[in-house]
Amino acid sequence: MPVELTPRGTHGSNLEKMPRPFKKIMFGLLTFMMRLGRARLVYLTTVGARSGRNFTVPLQWFPAGEDAWLVIASYGGSARHPDWYVNMAKNPDKVWIQIRKRKLKVRPESLKGDERLAAWQRIVSEAPVYAGYQEKTDREIPVVRLRSEQ
């Protein structure tokens, strides 16, 4: 199943857009933490749904089998989806990741039903912060599996 844009919520945390200089600092900090082995990060590149430009964001990932990774579209518990998730749904054939030094084209797919629930429970047991994000919003936070196409 491709990425499905699920309904937005009616309430949630209010995340402001981060100014570009702070994004660069955060990007650098996350890269540093990844190199120290303190964070399991993937750099996800999507193509903008409206702009057609490439956008790259660092995301925490969880294992989903060989050459497959799970990412969470939590947006900190916001009522709306993160931009990368919307981009992925609109342009599912234009998604890449960089994990460590590997750059891969991936195929995203939304998890649904029991498969999503099992993945969500595993993720929340590893990273309880996601449970808190779910409590902030009434939208179901999407779980997306990225599979390598190579």
User: For residue 4, what pLDDT is reported?
Assistant: 86
Structure tokens given for 101 = 């030094």
> Global pTM?
0.85
For the domain spanning 20-148, the CATH number is 2.30.110.10
Name residues of the chain where pLDDT drops below 50: none
Per domain, the residue ranges of the chain are 20-148
Q: Please answer whether residues 139 and 73 qualify as being in contact, where contact means their C-beta atoms are separated by less than 8 angstroms.
A: no
Q: In 10-147, where does DSSP find H-type helix? A: 20-35, 83-90, 113-126, 129-136
Question: What's the pLDDT tens digit per position in 81-100?
Answer: 999 999 999 999 999 999 88
